[in-house]
A and B are shown apart, each in its own frame.
Chain A
Amino acid sequence: MLTDTPILEIDAVSKRFVTELDIAERTARLLGSKVEPLTVHAVDGVRLSVRKGEVLGLVGESGCGKSTLGRMVAGLMPPSEGQIRFRGRDVAALRGAEAREAALKIQMVFQDPMSSLNPRLRVDEIVGEAPRVHGIVSRREQDGYVDDLLNRVGLDPTTRKRYPHQFSGGQRARIGIARALAVKPDFIVCDESVAALDVSIQAQILNLFMRLREELDLTYLFISHDLGVVEHISDRIAVMYLGRLVELGAAEDVLRRPNHPYTQALVAEIPTFETKKKAFNPIKGEIPSPLKPPTGCHFHPRCPHAHQRCIVERPALKEIAPGRLSACHLNDEARAAA
């Protein structure tokens, strides 16, 4: 059920990737050349909290850091700065059985339905290994348990002994979901989990996600580049651009009244069914390299409303309406004018 208690808090989390210099570069540096190790701010001071039972959609284009954030939440990489708290406790500070417990409660469903399944294992082992190893079921109960899970995700349990390559893309996606559910998680990170699927299969899997949420009282962090999909399944939407959170709010509200110019552009470019030729009106410019992000507001080189302040000053994420945050200088100016 949807409550106000946060199940997960992402507190000022940053992730930096530093490319190590190789020997040649280090030598060049000793000799006085100006070779610097490259630093990418993949995620830059993101604050988010996810309430128990809600679906938080995380949208952005390539290089915006949404996947990195998802992987940090899933415990696959530690943050460089900041804390990720699950049920109020810093995940990184947990040790031993507690750490394992927390790790199992947060699961991930991956994008590529092929590479996320071990090609050498049969379905019953892919799904049943972790619960057996962690003592959730005994070896004797494993078969029955796997059957239940396969039924739950809409797969025929008699396919239990097959290998991943013997399934279609949609079925593989279901196996990936069954695997995540097997350790009884409370929180699932869906990283582009439907992006690789055909449209008709995508609808099946989205429906499955929505049904499982009801049945098992799950909370999702739903990461996708497809704002249309995210809007449909999410309660709230967070928009990221080049490592920063730029807008946050209730899903329908963000889609109907996008505040940040970047969100506005994203919303305008959701492919919709047209019965006449569409007049495309794209925002200009490329997505900048995360290696050399623009100064001030990261979006200013592409923003139609950019002015001097945007170039020098990073806009803070401010509340523009109850529960609605946006990081744009225009809001300050609009408020000052009003």
Chain B
Amino acid sequence: MTLLQVRDLATHFFTRDGVAKAVDGVSFSLDRGEILGLVGESGSGKSVTGFSLIGLVDPPGKVVSGQILFDGADLVAAGEATLRRLRGKRIAMIFQDPMMTLNPVLRVDTQMIETVLAHAPMSRQAARERCRAALAAVGISSPDERLESYPHQFSGGMRQRVAIAIALLHEPDLIIADEPTTALDVTIQAQILSEVQALCARSGTALIWITHDLAVVSGLADRLAVMYAGRIIETGDTAEVIARPLHPYTRGLIDSVPQGKRHGAPLAQIPGMTPSLLRLPEGCKFRPRCPRADAACLVEPALAELLPGRRARCVHPYLEAAEEALAASC
């Protein structure tokens, strides 16, 4: 059952140095209860995509075209009032810095109860009870005591849990999480990942997990979408994409991580650097860094279904490997 359908989304930033096409022609869909990993490096447009979905793109940025169908209704065409009703209630967002969500001068209970009452009329007592339950659900011990604290009394990991608890208050249909564990230590990151995974499975909430770390999201997401220079360049089932990447960029990302490589051996690296959004290369945007590029890549390829359920934006995808593997498994 499709919950979210994004069609040809384009978000541009009109800066004084020119138009930066941060998101340019992004399409994907998300089912209820599904976890999508939106992966990309800095400047790939992954975060801007997330912000565009809930209408939080600030000037000089603007959604210039495309459709965002959330449960059938187009969010791009919808007014601010509609979006505000949806935000926090049916779509929630978790940021990399939890202090984006938390107000440093208010007690946690004040903020949480306000959030509850903003969308669901009930008694303060009932709202408080709901907040307590939400904190307990994200693994916060002694939630009563924690409710009466200020955000600065929490550690970074604890603050992120509170932010997640706030996101969960209204049992939203969709949570958009923008690098929520990037700033955390690995042991704390593992705790949060495990709790988010359990919560989504329990409540059937769909999740878009935006991250630069392909490895982290590979253990969490059902499906992956890899972004580069404002476009989705590859999507598919997590297992498939990780095991048999089609696009040279995805393959480069996987190969450049040191884990599991021979100790001390030179790492396979993607040459060059991410292009400036103001000066994108002609044709395929990855062309100047791609080992397989040739003259055919001067025309930008479309995101095409190259294998069942697998789409990639590439003229010379690694189909051989995928076919061999397929043949071997048969």
Contacts and interface: CB of A to CB of B under 8 A. Distances in A.
A168 B190 CA distance: 31
B98 interface: no
B273 interface: yes
Contacts of B187: 61, 265-266, 269, 282-283, 287
- Across chains A and B, which 9 residue pairs bring their CB atoms closest together, nearest first? A278-B219, A280-B194, A203-B256, A232-B258, A271-B215, A282-B190, A61-B185, A198-B41, A275-B239
Contact of B158 (A276, A282, A286): A286
Contacts of A232: 258-259, 261, 263-264, 267
Interface centre among B187, B189, B215 (most CB of A within 10 A): B187
Interface in B166-214: 185-191, 193-194, 197, 212-214
A153 B6 CA distance: 43
B319 interface: no
Interface string B133-144: 000000000000
Given A202-B256, A287-B187, A280 B219 contact: yes
B322 interface: no
Interface stretch (A87-95, A98-106, A204-212): A204-212
Interface in A200-256: 200-204, 206-207, 210-211, 225-229, 231-233, 251-252
Nearest to A276: B239
Interface centre among A201, A211, A272, A282 (most CB of B within 10 A): A282
B18 interface: no
Interface of B: 41-42, 155-158, 185-191, 193-194, 197, 212-216, 218-220, 222, 238-239, 242-243, 252-261, 263-264, 266-271, 273-274
Contact of B41 (A200, A252, A266): A200
Interface in A285-316: 286-287, 289
A232 B260 CA distance: 9
Interface of A: 61-62, 168-171, 198-204, 206-207, 210-211, 225-229, 231-233, 251-252, 265-266, 268-278, 280-284, 286-287, 289
Contacts of A280: 190-191, 193-194, 197, 219
Contacts of A287: 155, 185, 187-188
Contacts of A284: 191
A124 B155 CA distance: 42
Nearest to A251: B263
Nearest to A194: B258
Given A198-B41, A252-B263, A273-B215, A225 B268 contact: no
Given A273-B218, A274-B219, A199 B212 contact: yes
